[in-house]
Structure 1
Amino acid sequence: MDVLPVVVVIPTRNEAENIAQTVRSVIGRFAHVVVVDSDSTDGTRDLAKAEGAEVVPYTWDGAYPKKKQWCLEHVHPETDWVLFLDGDETPSPQLLAEIRRVFDPPPGHRIRPAAFDIPLGYWFAGRRLRHGHTIVKRVLLDRTRCRFPEPDDLAAPGMGEQEGHYQPLADPVVRLTAPIEHQDLDPVRTWFERHNRYSDWEAWLEEHPAVREQIRQAKTRQGRLFHRAPLKPLVSFLYAYGLRRGFLDGRAGLDYALAMSFYRWQIGLKARELAAARTAAGADGGRVRH
C-alpha cells in the first residue's frame, strides 16, 4: 500500500508561518491532503497550493455544524477515514509507520476502532517538551462512526467556528503510541492570544453549568477528572511541573507549567467577574422603583 486511504484535513486561518512544513509532511503519503481555510489574509492558501494541497474555502454561518464536523461531512466524503492536523502539526515518522500498520494489517485482520487517539509532541516557546502535561487528541476518525458534539455554547465567546475543548464522540477508541509534533513557529505571544480567547469560552461555561456538563461528558477521562478539580491553577502547575516531571525540561518546562497555570487562573478570574455582573444585574432588577 503506497498511499494510505485517509484524507488529511488541515483547518487553517492565517497559518503562513507553519503551513508549508505541515503539508510537506503528509503530501504523497495519504489519498488526499486538504487545507480548509477560513479567509486567511497572509498567503496561507497560496503556500498550501504550492506544496500540492487542495484548498477549500470555508465560512462559518454561526450555527452547527462547526468547522471540523463540516469537514467530516463535506471533504472527500467518499473516503471514510480522516486525519485532522492543525496548521502547525506534523506526524512523526514513527506515527506514519504506525498508521501504515493500522491500514495495512496482517491477513485476516481488519480495522475495528471508530477512532484513534494520538499523543502530541508539544513544543513551547521553541523548545520540545519531553515531560509535563501529556496532551492526547482524537484526530484519526472513521467519519461514518464519529461525530463532534453540539453543546449549547453558540452564544459563548472565544471559540467561534472552532469546536471547543472536547473530543469527537466515537466507540470504540484505541490510543496510538507515536506522536504528532505540535511545533508552532509563531512567536509565543500568539499562544497567549489564543488562550486568552479560550479562557473566555471556559469562563462562560462556568456560568452555564448545564452546558459545562455536556462538554465534560465529551472529554477524555483525564479531562473529566480535571474538570471537577478544585484550585485548578495550583493543581495544573503541580501536575505538570511536579507529578509529570516538567522540571526535567528545564526552563521550558517551568515556562509551560506557569503558562498553563496562568490560563487556569484567567478562567477563574473571568468566571468570578461574570458571576459578579450577574449578581449585580439581579440586584438592580429587584429594586423597587418609585
Structure 2
Amino acid sequence: MGHPSDSERSLANGGLDLIVRSGTIVDGTGAPPVTADIGISGGVIKKIGDLSSVTAADEIDATGLVVTPGIIDVHSHADLTLAIDGRAESALTQGVTTVLVGNCGHGCTPLRDRPEYASAIFGYNRSIPLDWQSTGEYLEKLRQARPGINVGTLVPLGNLRLTAMEDPERSASDDQVKQMCALLEEALDEGALGFSCGLQYPDSVHTRSEELDEFNKIVAAHGGLFAACVRHTDERAVEGIEEPINSAAATGVRTQISHAMPQPGSPRGMT
C-alpha cells in the first residue's frame, strides 16, 4: 500500500467531524453505486473513498445502507406545518432535506387580515396565529421555528388575488393586476423563489393567460420558477398543459407543470 497523502494525514490529525463508513453511495449523477467512506468537516464533504486509516469525532456505520444526497421535494404543502413544528420528521424519514412550499396557487404569503386566507392554506389549523403579512415576515417565522430541513417558498396566485381583490372569484381589473404584480415583485425581492398558480381553483379560475404572462415576466427577470397547476384536466387537458408552456415561451420563465393529470373524459390515450 502507498503512503498516505498530505491531505489524508491532515484529515487523520483531527480534520474531520464525521465519517460515514461503508455505505453504498448513490450520488444522483447516474453513476453506478459504490461502497466507500465519506468524510465530513464543518458540514462539508471533504473526502470520499477508503478512510480506514482516518478517525473522526463521530462515526456512523452505514454498512448495508444507501447513502445519497438529500432529496429535494419541489411540490410540498408544508407551508404552515413547518412554522408550527420545524422538526419535519415526515420529510427527514423519507430522505427529504429540502422542500419548496407555496404550490398550487395557495400558501402562507402574502396574507392580510381577512378570514378567507385560512382556506388558502393547506392543512390550516389554529395552532399558531397568522401574525405575518409579507413574504419576508413569513420567512422570518420559519426561521424562528428552526426547521430541520431547507425551505423555500413560491408566491401563490390565490394569495395575490385575495390580497388585491375584494372578490377573487371574479376577473381582475387592470389596476388589480398592477397591484398583484407589485406584490409579486416585493415577495421575490424578499426571498421568494418563484410563483405558482392553481388555475382550476375558484379564486384563480378567472385569471387570464395574459395576466400569467405579466406575472411570469417578473418571475423570469428574477431568475425564478413558475410552477403551474393546470386549468383543465377533462376534454381540454391538452389546452390546460399548453397554457403554461405558452407562457414559458412568451416570457422565458423556467417552468414546472405540477399536475399533468388528465382525468376521465380527457382525450383518448391521455388517461
Does 1 or 2 have the higher relative contact order (CA < 8 Å, sep 6+)?
1
Larger radius of gyration: 2
Higher helix proportion (structure 1 or 2): 1
TM over 0.5: no
Q: TM-score, normalised on structure 1?
A: 0.26
- TM-score, normalised via structure 2 length: 0.27
